[in-house]
Amino acid sequence: TMAKELCRGVTEDSRSKSYHRRGLWAVKKKNKGKFPVHKKAEKAADKATKAPRFYPAEDIKTPKGKNVIRNPTKLRASITPGTVLILLAGHFKGKRVVFLKQLPSGLLLVTGPYSVNGVPVKRVNQAYVIATSTKVDVSAVDTAKFDDKYFKAEAKDKKAKGEEGFFSEEATKKELPAEYVANQKAVDAALSKSLNEDLTNYLKNRFTLRDGMKPHLMSFQALGLARWAQPVRLCKRNPQAPLPSPLKK
């Protein structure tokens, strides 16, 4: 036990009495008259990089790698080479085009042809087309040169910043490369052999809806004529008899 402290720093026992009271003499006797010396613990090796003293208070999002497996896009059963499609979006919406083939990216390769309705060889998403039952023979059309790289846009030149660069710009119209023009003419020439007068006039006309026409009840039959499909709702008087078609008088 520790000696009683009379005041701060002064104990009741003397130094010699405290020495015997703590049993230090026994420890010294056991070690041949010397106090044991313990080896100092080895210091841990310094880390190669010290931890920063400060860290950002806001959470920083780190991008994670994505293992995306890109499966080939499944083509709709109603779309086959030569099928006449109706475009629903884009600059040529409402135009009728001829489907040529599906590209590796899943997009559809179509053309007007350009000599008939002004639609060049282009790519469209099958989600934005209506397939008709009208077919055109496209066996004579060579589509081997058309792929996704063919439609890749060229890198634009960087514009000079500032007032000088703004006023120095001149409106220059880009000319289409001769290769693209030649390829379009070759496709138009091959398709024109399969188009009769009726098909040519049909492709020239733009698809429109008139009053009372419901797209979800239409079936696009030969030459793309929109006819009413069989309505799902039945008559109240005779449940077995379907409603008459609005086109029949």
In 3D space, the residue among 123, 179, 180 whose CA is nearest the CA of residue 147 turns out to be 123
Listed range (84-98, 194-208, 211-225) with the worst mean pLDDT: 211-225
Range with the lowest mean pLDDT among 77-91, 102-116, 170-184? 170-184
Write down the pLDDT at residue 24.
82
The pLDDT, as a whole number, for residue 177 is: 86
Distance CA 65, CA 68 (A): 9
Strands 122-124 and 108-111: antiparallel
Whether the predicted pLDDT of 224 surpasses 50: no
Give the model's pLDDT for residue 236.
41
Q: Per-residue pLDDT averaged across 175-196, rounded?
A: 92
pLDDT tens figures, 54-79 = 887 888 888 888 888 888 889 999 99
Of the pLDDT bands very low, low, confident and very high (cuts 50, 70, 90), residue 120 is very high
Whether the predicted pLDDT of 249 surpasses 50? no
- What global pTM score does this model have? 0.59
Domains of the chain (ranges; CATH) run 1-35 (no CATH), 83-152+177-204 (2.30.30)
> What is the C-alpha to C-alpha distance for residues 74 and 179, in angstroms, rounded to an integer?
31
| DSSP secondary structure letters along 38-99 | PPPPPPPPPPSSPPPS---SS------------PPPPPPTT--TTEEEEE-SSTTTT-EEEE
Amino acid 240: pLDDT: 44
